[in-house]
Amino acid sequence: MSRLEARELELSYDDRLIVKGLSVAIPDGEVTVIVGANACGKSTLLRGLARLLRPQGGQVLLDGQAIGSLRTRDVARVLGLLPQSPTAPDGLTVGDLVGRGRNPHQRWFAQWSESDEDAVTEALRRTGTAELAARPVDELSGGQRQRVWIAMTLAQGTDLLLLDEPTTYLDLAHQVEVLDLIADLNARDGRTVVMVLHDLNQACRYADHLIAMRNGAVYAEGRPEDVITEDVVQQVFGLQARVVPDPVTGTPLVLPLSSRHRRSAGQP
Amino acid sequence: MTTALRPQVSVRADGRSVVLRRGRASVVVRPPSVSVGAALLVALVVVGALTLSVGEFPVPVGDVVRSLLGRGDAGVDFIVLDLRLPRLVCGLLVGAAFGLAGALTQAVARNPLASPDVLGVTAGATAAAVAVLVLGGPRTTALPVAALVGGVLTAVVVFLLAARRGVVGVRLVLVGIGVSATLQAATNYLLLRADITQAQAATVWLTGSLNGRGWTEVVTVGVAVAVLLPVALLLTRPVGVLQFGDDTARGLGVRVGATRSVLVLLAVALAALATAAAGPIAFVALSAPQIAVRLVRTPGLPLVTAGLVGALLVATADLLARRLLAPTDLPVGVVTAVLGAPFLLWLLARASGLAGRP
């Protein structure tokens, strides 16, 4: 079953068509990772799925209805989104930032209900940011800041979470920390996660479902071990590589062959 | 029974805001906003009392209060109620309107440099109003209408020229500056064509003056503030979310385009009607929201505080304008420009830590 689907989706920036007649169904309760070379349209697809872009053709369906025809507030109660490099106003505290996640549940006469309070407390706890609540966001380290933003989308209380490159600008340890957190949100709460990742090996480790895009279309999709082959890596990234089982997780591990090492490594 | 009716009070996790709940309804109150608001109201009362009291014919504060309560003698009543009160109320309302308009514009543009002045709204309203003054239209009826139409049209033109995939910000400010310059040229052309007395009247109006403003102007601006302020307050929460940028705001369920259009319309209407009443009083719309932000130190733009600061700025400036070179009555815009510019520079320097260094 898929609550979120794209059918014959066409998305463009200005007059340039980026996503070209793409159909994809996001499996419920799983982690879907979109990968592809730069400018293949993976972030554009994510933005389209999150109704940030109006389709030129085709449609995005949320629970069987065209997402553009739904009230954006109703969508925001089901589908949460973390943009690529989100910005917060100067001096905003962590507590205020995470509290903004409750916006779709609030009204001018119901500004802070008990369920708002509970959701924010829980989101802070899950992301390990409770002790930062009174700190200004702009004083935090990159890893803390990203956890706080995830806490905001978590407080939104949505079944679907869309994340655009949640590990950008983080060092390796913080990348793993953030990805573990996201995996945990899926495993423990059964939230459906869709994210764009740059690192193919991380994508293979964390994805239940992998979508490899090339030139605005889906080139291959499925379980990482089925999708990531040396041929697919060549076609999608234009990269010669060896693919071996990851010694830690058993998922595919992509080892690029640079021109310097191609000779010594040889072809299998 | 009494406990069921009494609102439940709790403090939020970050310890900086208080929540009042009764049934499904809940309100968030931030103590800094409340105390700053109260302090501003006290300051307004003081400045208001001084304004009604001092002048060529000084009236003791006690007599002022008696007049306001309807128990003064006829001569004092005339000075306090007919000469000084309408000018004071007009100044307060115009200041509040400019302060609000500035806060709304800065919220939309997400840029502290943005204000109705920079976005060309004031220049548009001014050009239209000067056209009415110079071409000899009926001042009381045609001027507010012309200013409103001029302001709205200019805003539409600026937004159309700046709109490109919905991008606002620096581009909006730059287009606004360009359009303002064009409209100022048009205003100057109109002044050159006008005869000397009309041009002189228009020049005083252009500086921003409350001299001779009466209940007609009070009604125009008063109705605008009374109608538009509640609409702005209903939008406080979405405005706060808009400060996170379009993508995040949309993700949080805000109708970004619609909200922004309403905000711009509110700001334009407030600025244009205030301009119609008192002329383009410099710096108030730009500095009032920035002063308000630094006073309350809460996230987002404090709309009500910005309005109160605007009112206080204009009322104080007009008091100074009347008394500084008495008996010469300066246009209030001269004082706001002289006071507002350095104050804003000081705030900016302090914000970037320059003034704090030894």
Q: Which residues contact B228 (CB under 8 A, 6 or more apart)?
A: B100, B266, B269, B270
Contact A50 B240 (CB under 8 A): no
Question: What does the pLDDT read at residue B347?
Answer: 64
Closest CA to A20 of A222, A211, A219: A219
What separation in angstroms does the CA of A250 have from each of A179, A197, A204, B163? Answer: 17, 19, 10, 51
Give me the residue from B10, B14, B247 closest to A134, CB to CB: B14
Local confidence band at B3 (pLDDT 50, 70, 90 cut-offs) = very low
Q: Which residue has the higher pLDDT, B331 or B358?
A: B331
Q: Is residue A186 a contact partner of residue A31, using CB atoms and an 8 Å limit?
A: yes
List beta partners, residue A4. Answer: A26, A62
Whether B303 and B266 have beta carbons less than 8 Å apart is answered as no
Is B258 part of the contact surface with chain A (CB cutoff 8 Å)?
no
From the list B19, B248, B299, the residue facing A112 with the nearest CB is: B19
CB of A118 less than 8 A from some CB of B: no
**Nearest residue of A to residue B29, measured between CA atoms:** A111
**Chain A positions in Cβ-Cβ contact with residue B14 (cut-off 8 Å):** 93-96, 133-134
Please report the pLDDT score of residue A69 as a whole number.
93
Q: Which range is least confidently modeled, A239-253, B9-23, B248-262?
A: B9-23
CB-based contact B298:B30 (threshold 8 Å):
yes
Give the nearest partner residue to A96 out of B14, B234, B237, using CB atoms: B14
Residue B161 CB neighbours (<10 A): 16
Compute the nearest-CA separation of B223 from chain A (Å): 23
Contact yes or no for A96 and B299 at CB 8 A: yes
CB of B8 less than 8 A from some CB of A = no
Q: What is the pLDDT of residue B354?
A: 43
Position A263 scores a pLDDT of 60
Tokens (6 digits) for A240:
């010669």
A156 CB neighbours in chain B (<8 A) are 252
Looking at the DSSP bridge assignments, the partners of residue A253 are: A244
Q: Do the Cβ atoms of B95 and B332 come closer than 8 Å?
A: no
**6-25 in chain A: CB under 8 A from chain B:** 13-14
B6 touching A (Cβ < 8 Å): no
**A75 shares contact with chain B (CB less than 8 Å):** yes
**pLDDT tens across B46-63, in order?**
999 999 998 888 889 888
Q: Six-digit token pair at A158?
A: 């949505």
Res. B357: pLDDT tops 60: no
pLDDT of B252 above 90: yes
Sheet with A16-26, strands from edge to edge, namely A16-26, A4-13, A57-62, A65-66
- Give me the pLDDT at residue B350, please: 64
- Identify the three-state secondary structure at position B256: helix
Query: For chain A, how many residues are written?
Result: 268
In this predicted structure, what is the pLDDT of residue A194?
A: 97
Residue B212 binned pLDDT confidence (cut-offs 50, 70, 90): confident
Average pLDDT, chain B: 84
Q: What is the pLDDT of residue B345?
A: 78
Higher pLDDT, B17 or B167: B17
User: Would you call A115 an interface residue with chain B, using a CB distance cutoff of 8 Å?
Assistant: no
Write down the pLDDT at residue B165.
56
Residues of B in contact with A120 (CB under 8 A): 13
pLDDT at B13: 56
CA distance B248 to chain A (A): 6
CB A63 within 8 A of CB A262: no
Q: What is the average pLDDT across B197-224?
A: 84
A113 in B contact zone (CB under 8 Å)? yes
Q: Give residue-wise pLDDT tens across range B265-324.
A: 899 899 988 988 888 888 899 889 988 988 887 766 788 999 999 999 999 999 999 888
Do the chains contact at B245 and A89, CB–CB below 8 Å? no
- In chain B, what residues touch A163 (CB-CB under 8 Å)? none
pLDDT of res. B310:
95
Q: Do B252 and A101 touch (CB under 8 A)?
A: yes
Dist. CA B265–CA B256, nearest whole Å: 14
With pLDDT > 90 as the criterion, what percentage of chain B qualifies?
Answer: 25
Spell out the alpha helix ranges (H) of chain B: 2-5, 31-53, 61-68, 74-77, 85-109, 121-135, 139-162, 170-193, 196-207, 215-234, 236-242, 246-251, 256-278, 284-296, 303-323, 332-351
Q: Kindly write down the DSSP assignment for every residue of A158-187, as one continuous string.
A: -SEEEEESTTTT--HHHHHHHHHHHHHHHH
Find the CB nearest B241 among A50, A82, A103. A103
- Within 108-127 of B, beta carbons closer than 8 Å to A belong to none
For the segment A28-47, what is each residue's pLDDT rounded down to a tens digit? 999 999 999 998 999 999 99
Residue with tokens 């007649």: A21
- pLDDT tier for residue B168 given thresholds of 50, 70 and 90: low
Say what the pTM is. Answer: 0.86
Q: Name the E strands within A69-114.
A: 79-82
Residues B207-214 have a mean pLDDT of: 82
Of B95, B8, B111, nearest to B43 by C-alpha is B95
Mutate to test the interface with B, among A72, A107, A132, A146 (most CBs of B within 10 A): A72
On the question of pLDDT at B208 being above 50, the answer is yes
Residue in this structure with the two tokens 């000397």, named with its chain if needed: B196
Cβ contact A103–B254 (<8 Å) = yes
- At residue B114's C-alpha, the angle toward residues B113 and B117, to 5°, is 110
Residue A223, classified by CB atoms within 10 Å of its CB into exposed (0-12), middle (13-18) or buried (19+), is middle
- Judged by CB atoms within 8 Å, which residues 130-189 of A form the interface with B? 130, 133-134, 153, 156
pLDDT given for residue A59 in this prediction: 94
Q: Does A256 touch chain B (CB under 8 A)?
A: no
Question: Cα separation of B279 and B276, whole Å?
Answer: 6
The residues of chain A scoring below 70 in pLDDT are 261-268
Letter string b/e over residues A5-21, b meaning 16 or more CB atoms within 10 A of that residue's CB: bbbebbbbeeeeebbbe
Two structure tokens written together for A170: 């983080």
Closest partner residue to B13 (CB to CB) among A89, A106, A121 is A121
The continuous run of DSSP H or E covering A8 comes out as strand A4-13
- Residues near A64 by beta carbon (within 8 Å), at least 6 away in sequence: none
Specify the range with the lowest mean pLDDT, choosing from A191-205, B21-35, B166-180, B187-201: B166-180
Cis peptide preceding B327, ω within 30 of 0: yes
Residue found by looking up tokens 């306001």 in the block? B68
Are residues A93 and B12 in contact, defined by beta-carbon separation less than 8 angstroms? no
User: What is the distance between the alpha carbons of residues A126 and B104, in angstroms, rounded to a whole number?
Assistant: 36
- A13, A82, A89 ranked by CB distance to B300: nearest: A89
Chain B hits for A14, Cβ within 8 Å: 165
In angstroms, rounded to a whole number, what is the distance separating the alpha carbons of residues B15 and B12?
A: 5
